[in-house]
Chain A
Amino acid sequence: MEVPATASERDAVDGLLGPPESGWDGAQRTARDGRVSFGGFHMAAAQRDLLLPALHAVQSEVGWISRGALDYVCKRLGVPPAEAFGVASFYALLSTEERPPRVAHVCDDVCCRPHGATEIVAALEAAFGPAGTVVDGATWHPSPCLGQCDRAPAVFMQLAGEADAVLTRTNGEAVVAMLRGESVVVDGQPATVVGDLLLGRMGTIDPTSVESHVANKGYEALRRALEMGSAAVVAEVKASNIRGRGGAAFPAGIKWEAVANAPEETRYIICNADESEPGTFKDRVLMEGDPFLLIESMTIAGYAVGAQRGYLYIRGEYPAATALLQSAIEQARTGGYLGPDILGSGFDFDIEVRRGGGAYICGEETALMNSIEGLRGEPRNKPPFPTQHGLFGKPTVINNVETLMNVPTIVVEGGEAFARIGTERSAGTKLFCVSGAVATPGVYEVEMGTTLGELIDRAGGAVGDLQAILLGGAAGAFVGTDMLDLPLTFEDSSARDVSLGSGVVMLFNESADFPDLLRRVAAFFRDESCGQCVPCRVGTVRQEELLARHLTSGRPLDRALLGEIEEVMKDASICGLGHTAAIAIRSAIDIGLLETV
């Protein structure tokens, strides 16, 4: 039974898709519609990837997705309502239950938690009641890491009919005021950014202006690449030995070569900007500070592997970076740096920005592809790998923001020069997100091989008595001070059974409540599991329960059973989320962080 959409719901969808053409796709039925049919299956299949953007359009405008709105989206796109509901209900930022126009998502994750989030939550509970209570058109919910750990505590505001906003270094008073509709000064202070190679231009260029980019050597690398030819660019990237900066550390050149040599001619580039690993904010800082360089990097990648189109998938909680990138893409098109016949070379390439919907799992490369395609963000089984069967089933290069942004340097300076930076097996510099109990939280760029202790010194050293460091994110491990001599390279970290992950270095001192933090990590993985495979769907629940049972009732911790759960998640889960969901907790127990109980 169809429920009609309201005028504002229809307007939100039509604003994205344009007006409907006939009674078949949502317009008023006319006599002609009874005699003519349009599109059918192929039309619907070709538009399926607009499902998430259409749902976002309704959510942003109206504040939630009603039955009528969902039906209208389905009619416009030819998607079955049950499937569209399955997609809408997958994402935490989309609501299929009525929700007020102002919603505060309060980060209560491992970094914000000891740095002000607890006070904000207390203030909101006092003013509004428990999470989810609606008072005068506003409500609040706790949220996983918002990628603002350098400016903790942070709150993401979803405001129906207005642009979303992020409050950083905020407090309970400001969040309550904003929820009551009062205007609040949003802290726009940039993070501390220290570095020379990738971060050298930060602060000196204007992220809103293509002229500023061009005046600071912008598009030199693209021109150079177009002169060199695509095969030479792939060869330089291979020679650079650069490995992925998103967490998996896969050699980028191998991916590029595989796609460049693929038999199929339709190919894609994806920039993975769904930075959601708790403690990670480097990609946000890069995108907010230097968006044109990322667009240029993607263009070079597209040229090198023979792709016609690039997708930039950015997490939904990054409204500032999203707006900057959209503007950068427009300006690049106007300047002839994107679109048909780029810089007169005959190379056609364009980039589309896609917003995530609040799902950590969509940072997994194949889940991200499914998300773009308008499916639920469930990871695919591999093989086949994205280089053979990626986005829309076509050969696809997917790289992290930081990885891609190294490409212009590699093209201009040469792959060999890049490979000489760092160590033999870990080439280049690496950005680290230093946060928590540290003098100056921020993004620090260091040559690979710098030790963990040296990195922390660059950030002014620990505040208080350093107890532990979360290295690599929630999917990484807690390490003790005995790890300060660890050279930050892929090989040294793996030799010592830890991972650099996405570059998280989060410090905890004597004031940290580790049992509470570990329960938050366990809750995080349970909330963010896509639910597809049994080991992760149930394993993350059982892990959280075992920990809770120990901490709330004082029963001895069943470490053997925790170990068995870790093993099945690591061995039999489909993707990296399940593979790593137990590591942080186990590592913390291993170094004695639970023994204070």
Chain B
Amino acid sequence: MSVTATAIQITIDGRPVEVAAGSTILEACRSIGEDQPTLCYLENLTPVNVCRVCVVEVEGSRTLVPSCSRLVEDGMAVATDSVRVRHSRKMVLEFLASSTDLTTADPVVAEWMDHYEADPDRYGPAAPPSDDRDSRATGHHHVSDGLAAETVYQPAKIDNTLYMRDYSKCILCYKCVEACGADAQNTFAIAIAGRGFDARVSTEFDEPLTNSACVYCGNCIGVCPTGALMFRSEYELRRADLWHEEDQTVTTTICSYCGVGCNLELHVQDNRIVKVTSPLDHSVTDGHLCIKGRFGYEYVQELGDLATTPIDIVLAEARTK
């Protein structure tokens, strides 16, 4: 027996579109090749619709609606490029770029900023990093003179050899929390803590990961859109100005540890594995891996660990292999 989803008629920017009932507006847009910008949305996670960069205008709706999660309804008229939509997208991008370090974000973000003419500098010079973001009192804040634009800049957290967390780059998209939680790993080592501008991703009482429930699956890194969460190898290479994505090759293979059959994408630079990912659309992993698939590759190359061995020694060794 086959069940055919009811077809629904909507219009997107005046174009009639037919999609299956239960589709989101974003899916409808994508079905006609009109992709929308998204930051907190990912195919393998439950939409949280918090970044608001995907908002669209729906006729009859008082406010804009998030296209990533709003389901289509028959007769819906959607505008993806109206004045209101362009304004909100521009402002969301400005708000993020003026408060967060987006230097390692997906390059498409810079393209959107150009497209929507976002100008983050108009809020004033960026406020310097602070070291108290994990201990601010909820519901209180330091009253500023308004001359600098508040940021989330803070020291990076490096507490283990596998990955690091640089929350200066965190846009609070909730993806890592979802991947650590019920959407993938069910480990619940991290959650959103605090409130308002001081809301942040945290373990309980900001304990180091080594004291937390973290199992180092690295699925949080896999979903992070800004590079706030990063392999130690990538972080160390970037710090030494030796990260060259254009020179990297990506080789797909199957993890050799157990019989599940997870696809691995090995990112290789200078004959050395520097990062491991899995395709989002892989039927076995949905993009998620375990600690062995994600980090257990050293036996392939037997090089010094970037987190513990000076970088020139590691690279010299890699080149001679």
* A residues apposed to B, CB below 8 Å: 1, 67, 70, 80-86, 89-92, 94-97, 131-132, 141-142, 144, 358-359, 376, 381, 519, 523, 526-535, 537-542, 544-553, 561, 564-565, 567-568, 570-574, 579
Asked if A358 meets B139 with Cβ closer than 8 Å, knowing A540-B196, A545-B149, A574-B49, the reply is: yes
Which residues of chain B in 113-168 are interfacial with respect to chain A, using CB atoms and an 8 Å cutoff?
122-124, 135, 137-141, 143-147, 149-150
Chain A CB within 8 A of B52 CB = yes
Chain A CB within 8 A of B55 CB = yes
In the bound assembly, the distance between CA atoms of A289 and B57 in angstroms comes to 46
Asked if A535 meets B92 with Cβ closer than 8 Å, knowing A132-B137, A574-B49, the reply is: yes
The residues of A that contact B91 with a CB separation of less than 8 Å are 535, 539, 564-565, 567-568, 572
Question: Main secondary structure on chain B at its contact with chain A?
Answer: loop
Which A-B residue pairs are the 8 nearest by beta carbons? A548-B146, A531-B199, A92-B139, A549-B146, A80-B188, A538-B95, A86-B191, A568-B91
| Contact partner, B211, options A1, A531, A533, Cβ 8 Å | A1
In the bound assembly, the distance between CA atoms of A376 and B177 in angstroms comes to 13
CB atoms of A535 and B52 under 8 A apart: yes
CB atoms of A80 and B191 under 8 A apart: yes
Asked if A538 meets B64 with Cβ closer than 8 Å, knowing A1-B211, A132-B137, A533-B52, the reply is: no
Interface hub of A83, A84, A141 (most chain B Cβ within 10 A):
A83
Asked if A561 meets B55 with Cβ closer than 8 Å, knowing A550-B146, A567-B87, the reply is: no
In the bound assembly, the distance between CA atoms of A382 and B203 in angstroms comes to 29
Nearest B residue to A549 via CB reads B146
CB atoms of B171 and A534 under 8 A apart: yes
The residues of A that contact B9 with a CB separation of less than 8 Å are none
CB atoms of A83 and B172 under 8 A apart: no
Chain A CB within 8 A of B193 CB = yes
Interface hub of A94, A132, A526, A572 (most chain B Cβ within 10 A):
A572
Asked if A381 meets B49 with Cβ closer than 8 Å, knowing A538-B197, A540-B196, A564-B87, the reply is: yes
CB atoms of B122 and A529 under 8 A apart: no
Nearest A residue to B148 via CB reads A545
20 contacts between A and B (CB under 8 A): A80-B188, A80-B189, A83-B191, A89-B138, A90-B194, A132-B137, A141-B137, A528-B195, A529-B195, A531-B194, A537-B95, A538-B96, A540-B196, A545-B124, A548-B146, A552-B145, A564-B87, A568-B87, A572-B52, A572-B55
The residues of B that contact A532 with a CB separation of less than 8 Å are 50, 172, 199
CB atoms of A537 and B51 under 8 A apart: no
The residues of B that contact A548 with a CB separation of less than 8 Å are 143-146
Asked if A535 meets B95 with Cβ closer than 8 Å, knowing A376-B192, A579-B63, the reply is: yes
* B residues apposed to A, CB below 8 Å: 49-53, 55, 63-64, 66, 69, 84, 87-88, 91-92, 95-96, 98-99, 122-124, 135, 137-141, 143-147, 149-150, 171-172, 188-199, 202-205, 207, 211-213
In the bound assembly, the distance between CA atoms of A552 and B143 in angstroms comes to 11
CB within 8 Å: A-B pair count: 199
The residues of A that contact B141 with a CB separation of less than 8 Å are 523, 526-527
Asked if A546 meets B146 with Cβ closer than 8 Å, knowing A81-B204, A82-B190, the reply is: yes
The residues of A that contact B98 with a CB separation of less than 8 Å are 538, 542
In the bound assembly, the distance between CA atoms of A443 and B273 in angstroms comes to 70
CB distance from A460 to the nearest CB of B (A): 34
In the bound assembly, the distance between CA atoms of A549 and B143 in angstroms comes to 11
In the bound assembly, the distance between CA atoms of A579 and B188 in angstroms comes to 32
Nearest B residue to A131 via CB reads B140
The residues of B that contact A547 with a CB separation of less than 8 Å are 146
In the bound assembly, the distance between CA atoms of A534 and B190 in angstroms comes to 20
The residues of A that contact B51 with a CB separation of less than 8 Å are 533-534
CB distance from A393 to the nearest CB of B (A): 14
